[in-house]
Amino acid sequence: MASVKGRPVMGTGSSILSALQDLFSVTWLNRSKVEKQLQVISVLQWVLSFLVLGVACSVILMYTFCTDCWLIAVLYFTWLVFDWNTPKKGGRRSQWVRNWAVWRYFRDYFPIQLVKTHNLLTSRNYIFGYHPHGIMGLGAFCNFSTEATEVSKKFPGIRPYLATLAGNFRMPVLREYLMSGGICPVNRDTIDYLLSKNGSGNAIIIVVGGAAESLSSMPGKNAVTLRNRKGFVKLALRHGADLVPTYSFGENEVYKQVIFEEGSWGRWVQKKFQKYIGFAPCIFHGRGLFSSDTWGLVPYSKPITTVVGEPITIPRLERPTQQDIDLYHAMYVQALVKLFDQHKTKFGLPETEVLEVN
């Protein structure tokens, strides 16, 4: 160490060390803030994938046909033809994709947790009724299409299949992304295959309320579209698959949307889309990418807790009557309401809160 007029002068090594310490102390490299931004980015990538990946990849693939890289498009379309029915047979799940670190950031952003109330037998098959739909069913995706909340450890020997719109599997690249997480089409052919030709220990997660329920999704509202939704009960009876009521507290809290009144032009457009295309366009918003004070596509960071209830034992009836369907549907509705009432106060709802069944 040298000195100038009696004052010590730091050597080069010490100066660099001091500078590095100052650098890593600045706010933009604060560990907690970096982790929060990683959480935001992980959620945004899924939201954008959900909204635009399929359309974007379709456009890019069609454009590729008109370029020198046309052979790539031809090869992919050839693969698509031969692979067309794979989603109907449960897809092509990848444990590697389901265990990506990005899903843990996704989980921690809200945060999302999965609550188990009863064991599930691996000798049985199951249909989980997931409620409510929310805008995007973020809790359903995180809990059952990834291992972020350790669904395979909580329900050992059970293979979850989250069922979604069949149209998603006609979109190039998006279909591969969805199948890697164990997502399958929500149609009769797929469900029949999984419940009859895929052994036991299968759990198909159906968001029963569908597009109709998403139209009424709003913070502070606990309502499900279920009264006239009985198709999943009929499928359960035909295959002897036990029904499992599942409720996600907080699913409706993560987005705000414009609710169109019945009879308005906006609701008319939404219902037409729902009838002919299978989904209902919603006008919604969350927070911005860099600030929670601005609007954007990033959902608000509100806790989502998915509670998996007690399975309802269902007999196998090859030709269930309407009376059979109505009986087990009523049992399911009663079990769902009971599940909601047992857990509502644990997750911030008042004792007086009532689950609205429409």
Each of the 358 residues of the chain gets a pLDDT tens digit; together they read 444 444 444 455 556 656 555 545 554 457 788 898 899 999 999 999 988 999 999 999 999 999 999 999 999 999 999 999 999 999 999 999 999 999 999 999 999 999 999 999 999 999 999 999 999 999 999 999 999 999 999 999 999 999 999 989 999 999 999 999 999 999 999 999 999 998 999 999 999 998 889 888 999 999 999 999 999 999 999 999 999 999 999 999 999 998 887 878 888 888 888 777 777 788 889 998 888 888 999 999 999 999 999 999 999 999 999 999 999 999 999 999 999 999 999 998 999 999 999 9
- Give me the DSSP letters along 154-188: HSTT-EEEEEE-GGGGGSTTHHHHHHHTTEEE-SH
Cβ-contact 251, 102 below 8 angstroms: no
Alpha-carbon distance of 254 to 299, in angstroms, equals 5
pTM: 0.88
Q: Which long-range contacts (CB under 8 A, 24 or more apart) does 292-295 make?
A: none
Residue pair 162/182 in contact by the 8 Å Cβ criterion: yes
Q: What is the pLDDT of residue 5?
A: 47
Q: What pLDDT score does 269 carry? A: 86
Q: How far apart are the first and last CA of the chain?
A: 80
What's the pLDDT at 25? Answer: 52
Token readout for 213 is: 């329920």
Q: Which of 52, 46, 278 is nearest to 167 (CA)?
A: 278
For residue 144, give the nearest of 18, 270, 248 by alpha carbon: 248
Residue (of 9, 253, 215) closest to 111 by Cα position: 253
Pairing mode of beta strands 304-308, 242-249: antiparallel
Q: What is the pLDDT of residue 340?
A: 98
